Structure 1
């Protein structure tokens, strides 16, 4: 499977063609859907399934998004070009990117010209009708909410820590708050949020393992600028495989935009978290308060000297309103706690960090109202 870009497809025109021979000559234009049917007369692909050929024209650097749906077999999409001698050279493929069993393939054309698309099945013996849609869109750009199922396997990309993942991109505006949740009954989920630079560099911003309860991961994030983000659905253990469901929803300026009074959330301050420029690592949490509420926020850790800053994001910058080092006491005497009367109704942000540089470990954060 490949990294995927979730696309909201625009106006669709339907074209219907016959079997493989006719499809081989059919050009799929942007924002168009075609239909076909696999049967035993079609040629056999490298995956063992019968396939039909289609072709697309693309400009250098153009994003090509293809979606294949079928209610009769497990679709598999391949895109490639013909090598000298006529052999098919695959450039990208996808099996379950649109949620099992449908395929969603993203490919950025490195060269201009004609590409071959093969519509096939995941295994042998897959026959029946299907639809194949093409969408073209600039880097980034899915609408919210995202609610999609997938399956992490050993063919998926691997990050620097050896975890296989499947990725989805979407746009956020400054101050927008989202909730990201990854659920699974098969694997210990691990969800990550970050940015991908034009050179392909991954910039990790947030991650979570078990805050969603059980094997599930969940966190809220508040954007501080207009950006294209990538969420990666992964597993806590390297080499793990299994099914999952990923949801990303906009919870801006609502009680669901952050922790509610009475909630406790956990985390792990680690050296792959956000640096603060002074050798400390940072994680962020958000909570919702109503103007006039008496609030108490407590950061606890038995593994590092907890330090907390509370404030809000405005115009792309964090504005501190309260901070604390050791007022929470605790088993080590190093827990942080601050109490205040909420001056406005909305989302507040907690900067979770340590008092000293390079400190790491588990923590819990509690928000209470009186």
Structure 2
């Protein structure tokens, strides 16, 4: 197999692929959008980046249009690159080696600007040769629809490649659906989304023209906390970042009035069993459920607080209430060991009552735990 150095191959490619506004070298075959072409990779073709031989095709793209490119072969493991030439430099925008299943490659992308783009049909492995087909086609986005979602309802939907996308860049930022959530003004809601083993993204916002503009963002773990505005409704964007598609569930529930903390006295050396669950006091900024404990100490006294949990990642915080607001003194989310437990040690700056907050590291954590305070 004849292999050229990277520098030599790039020099050849740059000489052949002129800038976007210039006439590309006719040595690169033209692919019309919607067309498929057959080709053959052999040891006489150049190789690139420690992979196998390649051939280059060119096509014209329109700014903002979504495209899907395919490279299929039963003779070698296909590797497909979408590229363009900018200022005399070849920009390798997106690559794929198995997006079409088995030995076939597939790249979905959005053209950032109009001009001539390149498809590099290549073997993933250095020894790969044989017949292939390569093609390029458009992938129009379906018409934007907004579905209604009632409080107390759980719906099943699906993210698809024809859905709207958020984020910028040739590969897009992910697909999403839109829902209109209606309730009473000032109603406190919790939305949860699940999509297999992936991490969903939930945002709330408004439409500005044909674009969704978020103004409230999710709190991780597929959860979004909302307080409905005076209109009693808002739009929710349910999606996932990256090339994630498939079925999901989306549920919206009434959070009810904010629960007031009910502090429990914590005595040194005496463990207390507790449980984080819906209905507990919440951290307003992210909706984590919290239990509150109080302990009295002396100035300069050192105490150690531990929290053991298996159902969630434990998180401890200690501080004082000043003018009705909690002022944190120390916090910790682990105990120095591998696991979900938490431990913190602190020297009390003055005599008086301190508040210990037991919660989870991330929103949505719930389950049983054991907390204890003692001397270090």
TM-score range, shorter chain: 0.3 to 0.5
Please report the TM-score for the alignment, with normalisation by the length of structure 2: 0.43
Larger Rg, first or second structure (1 or 2): 2
